Structure 1
Amino acid sequence: MNEDRKAKIRDYKLQPTYYGVIQLTNTVTHKIYIDAVPNTKNRWGYYQTNLNNHAYGQTALQRDWDEYGADAFSYAVLWEEKTDDVVNLRHAVKLLKEEWLERLQPFDDRGYNTRPKSR
């Protein structure tokens, strides 16, 4: 491996990681999908790959992706913070998602998320 490539890999690994809340928006229907993720940097590629490979099965999100195509969807980071001081990232992401689902209500005609089960 050449030195330039090694330096690029090292620099990439040293970049800060951000967890946060992301939103996929269908620009035709205006429906949204909300998720809280441990790394906002690579998540758009993750969704594109999975939706292009039909990993979401018979969900409304997958059906609209298939019908309208990838160009009909946009990606936005709604909130993010460095992971440096997070002790339990999995728990932090879970609480964050609950908070943002409650705030934005991306259910039924407004979005693709499934309503959380009542506790």
Structure 2
Amino acid sequence: MKEKYLQMKPEMGVFIVRSHFNNKCYIEGTKNLKGAINSTKFRLKYGSHPNEELQKEWQEYGETNFTIEVLDNLEYEKDELKTDYTEDLILLQKIWEEKISKEGVLFYKK
């Protein structure tokens, strides 16, 4: 069971934090979706998120005025030799940023 756990790979992809009151969003690509989402929630809750604008509005309007969801998953390649998916995640994030910006959604400043 321990070996099986160690062989498990975390889900990779892009997630979004979306504001319900001003339609702004924060998008992030990550090699570990579950970990990054949990970290984002924790940082926002305790006032330590690196995006100051998002953090300020989270504190001002509260958690219930935001949703956090996975936009897309990045699958691991069958070729086990590939271990670095950084560029793939950057590209996937840019694709989603372009797609969402066409809908008129604003982004939190980086």
Q: Common fold, TM-score beyond 0.5?
A: yes
Q: Distance in 1 between matches of 2:9 and 2:39?
A: 19
Conserved 8 A contact 2:40-2:49: no
Unaligned runs of 5+ in 1: 1-6, 115-119
Does the 8 A contact of 2:19 with 2:25 survive in 1? Answer: yes
Count of matched residue positions in the alignment of Structure 1 and Structure 2: 106
Q: What letter corresponds to residue 64 of structure 1 in structure 2?
A: E
Given that 1:25 and 1:75 are in contact with CA atoms closer than 8 Å, whether structure 2 keeps it comes out as yes
Q: 1:52 aligns with which of 45, 48, 51?
A: 45
Aligned CA distance change for structure 1 residues 13 and 27 (closer, same or farther; 3 Å): farther
Instruction: Give the C-alpha shift of residue 39 in structure 1.
Output: 1.3
Give the AA of the match of 1:53: Y
Tell me the distance in 1 between the aligned counterparts of 2:51 and 2:94: 24
- Unpaired runs of 5+ residues, structure 2, are none
Match of 1:63 in 2: 56
The partner residue of 2:28 within 35, 48, 54 is: 35
| 1:17 and 2:10 aligned | yes
Overall identity of the aligned pairs, in % = 22
Aligned residues: CA RMSD: 2.8
Between Structure 1 and Structure 2, whose CA radius of gyration is higher? 1
User: Letter of the aligned partner of 2:57 in structure 1?
Assistant: D
TM-score by length of 2: 0.73
